[in-house]
Amino acid sequence: MIALLVRDLRLATRAGGGFGLGLAFFLILATLVPLGVGPQSDLLTPIGPGILWLGALLACLLSLDRIFALDLEDGSLDLLATAPIPLEGVATVKALTHWITTGLPLTVAAPALSLLLFLPHAALPWLVLSLLIGTPALSWLGTFGAALTVGLKRGSLLLSLLVLPLYIPTLVFGAEVVRRGAEGLSVATPLALLGGITLGCIAVLPFATAAALRINLR
């Protein structure tokens, strides 16, 4: 599994692998919102948490169609299905690779981009923490959606329609953590719900993803 993780990381960071695409989109969104709304702190501060989390969500969505598509094209997915590694482990490695190359860079870059939206300094630790806890759920859900649509024509459009509704709870609770942190309120409830969603995704979705892959590879 470690060898598979290293392989996927190399493919993701190679030219055309999609690494940096989500981060670039996140940067563009955080830059364009102040230009469109206006650089007034009284307008941007209330919507800042939602904008940052929405940007992270959409940035994760950009590279989901690459999770299994490249392996399907070169035949690697058929070999992985017959390898000693169970498909549940393959699904976990794919989701982890997506998070390392997409979710983790977004988490690191978010504090700097939050300055463009006049986010209060008190909210920055909660922004980083919420993204660190919540973005793995986006990757695991996206991997499940990619398994459902692998091999389909125009699968990327269908993938977006399938995954976006599943992303909504993570978006709501993640933005609520940042909003409450900015206002000095208790973040225990939304943070616990956000963590529960992520833990549930990590525990359950590898099995659902493996089942979807087995059906599509028949």
How far apart are alpha carbons 127 and 130 in whole angstroms?
5
Residue 63 DSSP symbol: T
What's the mean per-residue pLDDT of the chain? 87
Average pLDDT for residues 97-126, to the nearest whole number? 90
Segment 209-213 mean pLDDT? 92
pLDDT band at 18 (very low <50, low <70, confident <90, very high): low
- One DSSP character per residue, 87-120 reads HHHHHHHHHHHHIIIIIHHHHHHHHHHHGGGT--
Chain position carrying tokens 């398994």: 147
Query: What are 163's two structure tokens?
Result: 């995954």
In contact, 24 and 107? CB cutoff 8 Å: no
Q: Is the pTM of this model over 0.95?
A: no
Q: How far is CA 176 from CA 5, 131, 141, 167, in A?
A: 33, 12, 20, 14
* Domain regions of the chain by residue span: 2-217
Residues 173/50, Cβ–Cβ less than 8 Å: no
**pLDDT tier, 181 (very low <50, low <70, confident <90, very high otherwise):** very high
Distance between CA atoms of residues 177 and 163, nearest Å? 22
* Residue 175: Cβ within 10 Å count: 24
Report the percent of the chain where pLDDT is more than 70: 96
> Lowest-confidence range among 13-17, 18-22, 74-78, 206-210?
13-17
Q: Predicted confidence band at 155 (pLDDT cuts at 50, 70, 90)? A: low
Whether 176 shows a pLDDT value over 90: the answer reads yes
Query: What is the structure's pLDDT at 19?
Result: 66
pLDDT at 1 over 80: no
